[in-house]
Amino acid sequence: MSTVDILAIFAHPDDLELNVGGTMLKMKSLGYRTGALDVTRGEMGTRGTVEGRAIEAEEAAKILKLDIRENLGLADGHVFVDDGSRSKLVRVLRRLKPKVILTHQLDDPHPDHDHIAHLVRESARLASMRNYDPETGDEKIPVPKTAHTIFSRNVIPSFIVDISEYLEGRMAAIRAHESQFHNPDSTEPETRLTDKNFLNGIEYRARYFGSLIGVEAGEPFYVREVLNIGDPIELLSRPMNLYS
């Protein structure tokens, strides 16, 4: 049975790449087992097909060197924090046993994103309760720690991951979802993502967050719990923005 150290749980097949692609590449380079769980197949999307998007997701997974990429199969545009959805996610968490989960920002304006953020938090807790979901018996796990990305709301990061060495790979993984982004030859309807400047903006964001910690590129996260730091000297002596 395959398990992972870190699991990225996002709504649509390209959301992981847009939010945490650099972090997943970095974690893999550090020797951790990495996994992705796409909650829906993106069937509500304006462009592309379910089948085509699945192929794109597999290509992106290869670029990110993911050990596992799965799809939870919930309905795109109809994700809710209900008991059926929680049970499906609890079963995946008990099987993959992640130590850390990366997921959407709470209070994201996209309903699926916001609901998934809450679904992850509730399911992570329920996965540790022996008597929840009899289908998985008493296979409880320690509660995985959850970190939320920062994408659509102005939130102060709890920490920023230096992805300077992995920015190019991250952007390549994003572009693997070619049906969703700018393509002058496409005859499909235009969307916010297909604007020719959208991917430039994604890269600029990474460089902005990197500048906050004095590096080339970064990905921001926040946690709702207080962080337990083992070595504050090691933490605080890392490069920081000297102009803050």
Task: Output the pLDDT for position 22.
Answer: 98
- Rounded to whole angstroms, how far apart are CA atoms 237 and 127? 37
The DSSP annotation for 84-128 comes to HHHHHHHHHHHHH--SEEEEPPTT-SSHHHHHHHHHHHHHHHHTT
Q: 74 with 42: CB under 8 angstroms?
A: no
Task: Output the pLDDT for position 137.
Answer: 59
Please tell me whether residue 17 adopts helix, strand or coil conformation. helix
Give per-residue pLDDT as tens, 40-65.
Answer: 998 878 787 889 999 999 999 999 99
Question: Is domain 6-236 given the CATH code 3.40.50.10320 in the classification?
Answer: yes
Q: What are the distances in angstroms from CA 164 to CA 28, 148, 161?
A: 15, 20, 9
List per-block mean pLDDT (blocks of 10 residues) for the chain, which spans 244 residues.
93 96 98 98 82 95 98 96 96 96 96 97 96 76 97 93 97 92 75 84 96 95 94 84 57
Q: 44 with 113: CB under 8 angstroms?
A: no
Q: Which two tokens stand for residue 133?
A: 């979901």
R_g of the chain, CA atoms, integer Å: 18
- Rounded to whole angstroms, how far apart are CA atoms 9 and 173? 16
Predicted TM-score of the model (pTM): 0.93
Q: Which two tokens stand for residue 232?
A: 């504050």
Q: In what order do the strands lie in the sheet with 159-162?
A: 68-74, 34-40, 6-10, 100-103, 145-149, 218-222, 159-162
Count of alpha carbons within 13 Å of 182, Cβ hemisphere only?
A: 7
H-type alpha helices, 127-240: 167-175, 198-212, 232-236
Nearest to 240 by CA among 220, 206, 219, 211: 211
Where do the domains of the chain lie? 6-236
Q: Which two tokens stand for residue 184?
A: 């002058």
Task: Output the pLDDT for position 94.
Answer: 95
